[in-house]
Amino acid sequence: MRKLAKVTAWERVKIAREADRPTALDYIENIFDEFIELHGDRYFKDDKSIVCGLGNIGKQNYTIIGEQKGRNTKENIERNFGMPNPEAYRKALRFMKQSEKFGRPVITFIDTKGAYPGLGAEERGQGEAIARNLMEMSDLKVPIIAIVIGEGSSGGALAIGLGDRVLMLENAVYSILSPEGYASILWKDSTRAEEAAEKMKLTAKDLLDLGVIDEVLKEPNGNAKTDIIKMAETIKKRIVALTKELQELDVDELVEARYNKFRNI
């Protein structure tokens, strides 16, 4: 197995947060032959912190769901800084259930600091929306491939993360909360975030060793932003290969294997 470069956990956190790091839409544009975005949860509104739509690679159709950050203040406000409200998770679930109806595999791109913690989000059932996604994904009768491309924090990430295969980019991070939040809770001092990052086992290598994820994808030149085309091609090859692998299982085998995978972590 390839040895990852010796970069500290905190350095990987900072790389994962870079404003010019490729986003879900960047990968969607470069991986899929076509993409049609779909909108709305049919309950409240269309939350742009999660992008949903239909795409294809050759003759294989997919349902695509991605957490989307902005690159500047205007885009971040529009995308709610990539922190989904409950309507975003309900939109994602709507299209996951649609994918089940039409037999389309689901691809998710995870990149969020966490679910939005505002009062309105809580009033509209943030916790329930996340919990329902977890319940429904556990029994979804089509293959699910989840890819952590940047930050993957808390239930905000897990709500679209129950994949039959979970992949992480080399400099992505995946954890129960941010290092700053961890440090604030454990030591009452958010300035100890760097120390917290080392203890949290949030890097791709850590999580692969722990069995939380299935695969680490190497980033070109040590950082995906240096060659988005090459990074997208790497992801595309794994999507195609894993889709074929998962489609060989019958539905009952697929769902049971997914249940056992997360039950045993």
Residue range 171-189: mean pLDDT, rounded: 95
pLDDT at 1: 43
- Token readout for 215 is 């695969």
pLDDT of residue 3: 52
Class of domain 13-263: alpha beta
18-40 per-position pLDDT tens digit = 999 999 999 999 999 999 999 99
**Among 163, 147, 119, 165, which residue's Cα sits nearest to residue 235?**
147
What is the mean predicted confidence (pLDDT) over 38-48? 95
The answer to whether the CB of 28 falls within 8 A of the CB of 63 is no
Its pTM surpasses 0.85: yes
Tell whether the model's pLDDT for residue 5 goes beyond 80: no
Annotate 16-62 with DSSP letters as a single string. HT-TTS--HHHHHHHH-SEEEEE---SSS---TTEEEEEEEETTEEE
CA distance 124 to 44: 9
Mean per-residue pLDDT, 201-226: 97
How far is the C-alpha of 16 from the C-alpha of 105, rounded, in Å? 27
pLDDT, tens only, 78-123: 999 999 999 999 999 999 999 999 999 999 999 999 999 999 999 9
What is the C-alpha R_g of the chain?
17
Query: What's the rounded Cα separation, in Å, for the pair 188 and 181?
Result: 9
**Which residue ranges make up each domain of the chain?**
13-263
In this prediction, residues 43-60 reach a mean pLDDT of 97
